[in-house]
Structure 1
């Protein structure tokens, strides 16, 4: 019964909600020490709470740290595990999210999409092969001046639309469902202040993936490495034979990194990398921040040792100088946790099938809130939200793919009840 009801929900509010949400600027700020890192993320949080209350979810609220919590009560007599659906409200600092103007390209016919506010921004099927699966669909882009925000407002819109369907269709049987919207995921702090005891979920699904039908149970494991170069500063007028510039030494370190491997631009699939992301300082001292990524934990140590060997070799040429090498764990491959709970993925895969798609099981060359949630005691794979080309002006999503996400969420909720 649930399947026929869910698949007969031809249209939901996902597209209309998405168009509203992307116009709220929620860009996070890695330089801020507050939570949320930007107050404007609360603007979307308040909107979402109001909309959740309006559809009858009585406990929806925004907490002091900018997290949105809500509960869809069970309508089944079974002791169904409590399932959470999670998406993040912030958009990436990499590209402006101010004054986003969404544009709908209806009945897409397979041509290049030229964005109206900047004709140099062109979304080409040759560069975005998933567009070839969108013939006849309605594509949403930004105008060319900003990112779109499908990462992850497409996920939010799908969860909100699914919640509305569930509240209006009590004949779809399900256990207790939790909704969690987080701030600051894009800067690695998405679950820093989450209250898992208050959330009260057994398992979760982030709705933060890409291609329709995809489900991900594996992420990179991730470390951050900080290299501090201590140089010798001398007045440049009297520097001969004495000055040893930390800036130039840092440049040598970066230049000595492998050119044909171990970098984001030269790796794919399951290959890891070492990536310098920022450099700050002057002649006396320079700090270089790296991110180190691999699917296998002990490979992180291998990459870090290679990086430190490079630093040592460069510093050896400057006997009056020194360095510090600091490693900080960021997150670990969530597959280590999810493999202990195979039923979570089994339900996700079957939900995608029942929503009319062939599941695509993938690994993420990155991380999600689910990576850390899994190791915090809330096992959490990642489901597609339909967005593409995240963090830039070419970002796009189709309305029909968001509708597929809604149906997948509904099937997940129903399947947990059915299989209990």
Structure 2
């Protein structure tokens, strides 16, 4: 076996026990700078993305040129941040399984990927394996909207193919992921005393409820979803609420469907506002609505015959494994990288029950992915 499992386990535990909630990735970035600086990179630098993301540090980019210029450059991506609760992580090891103490997430999403990349480059250097240009891109604020990737200066990157280590199953590769719109809605009504003169008010929450009730949410079709997850409004129980704000999203693997479903949501809110009636004729004014649609990330669509998929399959075949292409309903840094023209697939590290305090990962899965990464890097 090329991989050193215990060395991989040790670096994984160190990473998990280094706090890095979104926007506070500084300690992990410093840790990685120290590790990679000792491995002789061609270039290592922190970019200026913090000015856009609001994080305490930027993204970290590490490049190893290798000695084989005929090998096409390849990129690997992981994010440094973790979701809450992610401070004060204590890693519990039971045999080959790692979990948290139960009061925080583990942080295997995405520190398992980072640990795997460190082990892979160590093995390649120790065994003096041939490789071309390898770029590691460690981003901030992935969990809060892919902000680090969005602020990345991709023009400095050489690779045109890449892999994001950010999923569970180690025997699959994601080749399709949806594009998404964030939908922000603000409905303005009119305040009035709810007990003395409710007829003079316009209940913004009621209008929002009518709009939500009229639209289809959840699974829209086999490749599209929609959801409203945040609603905030009202001042007191005895005041007719004059304002309500809602945050939602629509996702689809089809650009045409995304536009159509987004328009349907906008129309539902507008119809609810336009359909408001003043039965007592005592209200001075009418309700209004403001809708803002923001593209969150572009679609990820890779052919099973694309260079990036052929390369991972070749690497898997060399170690007697089969990698199955699949689709996902989630977005990741890979969507953003694909939007930059870098064909990026997503491979798994074995992380399970992520974003919960029950999160865990098995060392065997991390070892298997590390073997695959070594194969990808050294594949001509």
Superposition map of 1:193-232 within 5 A: 193-232=151-190
The aligned residue for residue 351 of structure 2 is 387
State whether residues 56 and 167 of structure 1, in contact with CA within 8 Å, keep that contact through their aligned partners in structure 2: no
The aligned residue for residue 53 of structure 2 is none
Candidates 27, 41, 66, aligned match of 1:74: 66
Change (3 A) 1:195 1:341: farther
Cα distance between partner residues in 2 of 1:340 and 1:405:
20
Candidates 85, 92, 102, aligned match of 1:103: 92
Q: Give the C-alpha shift of residue 10 in structure 1.
A: 5.5
RMSD: 2.1
**Does residue 109 of structure 2 align to residue 151 of structure 1?**
yes
TM-score (norm 2): 0.88
Q: Give the C-alpha shift of residue 58 in structure 1.
A: 5.4
TM-score (norm 1): 0.80
Name stretches of at least 5 consecutive residues in structure 1 with no aligned partner. Answer: 1-6, 29-37, 107-137
Superposition map of 1:233-248 within 5 A: 233-236=191-194, 238-248=196-206
What is the SS of the residue equivalent to 2:166?
strand
State whether residues 334 and 344 of structure 2, in contact with CA within 8 Å, keep that contact through their aligned partners in structure 1: yes
State whether residues 46 and 62 of structure 1, in contact with CA within 8 Å, keep that contact through their aligned partners in structure 2: no
The superposition leaves residues 191-215 of structure 1 with CA deviations (integer Å, 9 ceiling, x where unpaired) of: 1221223232222111112111111
Change (3 A) 1:147 1:249: same
Candidates 10, 15, 18, aligned match of 1:21: 15
Cα distance between partner residues in 1 of 2:223 and 2:152:
31
Superposition map of 1:261-340 within 5 A: 262-263=217-218, 270-282=222-234, 283-319=241-277, 320-335=286-301, 338-339=302-303
State whether residues 90 and 184 of structure 1, in contact with CA within 8 Å, keep that contact through their aligned partners in structure 2: yes
**Does residue 32 of structure 2 align to residue 57 of structure 1?**
no
Change (3 A) 1:99 1:10: closer
Q: Which moved more, 1:309-318 or 1:187-196?
A: 309-318
State whether residues 180 and 249 of structure 2, in contact with CA within 8 Å, keep that contact through their aligned partners in structure 1: yes
**Does residue 368 of structure 2 align to residue 411 of structure 1?**
no
Cα distance between partner residues in 2 of 1:367 and 1:220:
7
What is the SS of the residue equivalent to 2:365?
helix
Q: Which moved more, 1:370-379 or 1:302-311?
A: 302-311
The aligned residue for residue 79 of structure 2 is 88
Q: Give the C-alpha shift of residue 316 in structure 1.
A: 3.8
Q: Give the C-alpha shift of residue 69 in structure 1.
A: 1.3
The superposition leaves residues 352-408 of structure 1 with CA deviations (integer Å, 9 ceiling, x where unpaired) of: 233343212111211111111111122211111211111111211111101111111
Cα distance between partner residues in 2 of 1:402 and 1:62:
26
